[in-house]
Structure 1
Amino acid sequence: MTDPTGPDDAFDLDLDEPAAPGGGEGFAGFPAPPPRWEDLTDVEETSTMGELTAWVAWLMDRYGLVDVPPACWADHGAVVEELSALRAAREAAYDPMAQPGDALAWHAQLPDALDRIGQRWAPRCRGGDHRPPYRGGDTDDARTPTSPPA
Structure 2
Amino acid sequence: MADPLDPLFKALESINEELSGLHIRLARVEDQQSISGAGGPGGAEGEGRPPGAPIVWRKLEDPERSDLWVEFTGWVFDIADQFELTVDQLPRDCWWLHGGVVEELTALWTSHRSAFEIKDDSGASVYLWHDAFARALDRISRSWLGECTNGYHQPRSRERWGTDAKLRATIIGAGPPPSRRSPGPENPDLLAS
Could you say which TM-score interval applies, normalised by the shorter chain?
A: 0.7 to 0.9
Q: Select the structure with the greater relative contact order (CA < 8 A; seq sep ≥ 6).
A: 1
Cα offsets for 1:105-144 (capped at 9, x unmatched): 1111111101111111113112421111233xxxxxxxx6
| SS of structure 2 residue aligned to 1:97 | coil
CA distance in 2, matches of 1:111, 1:56: 15
Match of 2:7 in 1: none
8 A contact 2:95–2:101 mirrored in 1: yes
Shift of 1:51: 1.1
Match of 1:107 in 2: 130
TM-score normalised by length of structure 2: 0.58
8 A contact 2:104–2:140 mirrored in 1: yes
Match of 1:35 in 2: 55
Across the aligned residues of Structure 1 and Structure 2, the Cα RMSD in angstroms comes to 3.1
Match of 1:141 in 2: none
Q: Choose from 110, 113, 117 the match for 1:88.
A: 110
1:1-150 matched pairs, under 5 angstroms: 8=23, 10-12=25-27, 13=30, 17-21=40-44, 24=45, 30-67=50-87, 68-71=89-92, 72-94=94-116, 95-135=118-158
Structure 1 stretches of 4+ moved >4 Å = 3-10, 24-27
Computing the radius of gyration over CA atoms, which structure comes out larger, 1 or 2? 2
Change (3 A) 1:98 1:123: farther
Identity %: 29
Change (3 A) 1:49 1:16: closer
Q: Gaps spanning 5+ residues in structure 2: where?
A: 1-15, 164-193
Counterpart of 2:147 in structure 1: which amino acid?
R
TM-score normalised by length of structure 1: 0.73
Shift of 1:55: 0.4
CA distance in 2, matches of 1:19, 1:46: 14
